[in-house]
Amino acid sequence: MARVLFLCTLLASASVLAQDPNAVSQRDIDQAIRKGAEYLKTAPSTGGWLHPNCDELILLTMIHAGVPETNPKFDE
């Protein structure tokens, strides 16, 4: 019985030690996506001499972020 208890304790502590202390949570990822989408709603269409604008990339990113197509940025 003591061996079983020891093994259970060892397995439980191993899983805690295996977790990365610098890992990013899903909540952090979702928050970053929301903040980025909020910025893109007001972002200017910029680009360099090879790419006159970035409208398609902005719209694609907003779609993937879940911004509804009723947002005025889609009409721009």
Tell if the pTM clears 0.85, that is, is over it.
no
In the chain, what are the domain boundaries?
47-76
- Is the pLDDT assigned to residue 20 strictly greater than 80? no
Residue 18 is predicted with a pLDDT of 59
Residue 38 in tokens: 């909020």
Residue 43 is predicted with a pLDDT of 79
What does the alpha-carbon distance between residue 44 and residue 54 come to, in Å, rounded to a whole number? 9
What does the alpha-carbon distance between residue 61 and residue 55 come to, in Å, rounded to a whole number? 10
pLDDT tier for residue 35 given thresholds of 50, 70 and 90:
very high
Residue 42 is predicted with a pLDDT of 84
Report the 10 Å Cβ neighbour count for 67. Answer: 18
What does the alpha-carbon distance between residue 18 and residue 26 come to, in Å, rounded to a whole number? 18
What does the alpha-carbon distance between residue 65 and residue 36 come to, in Å, rounded to a whole number? 9
Residue 74 is predicted with a pLDDT of 81
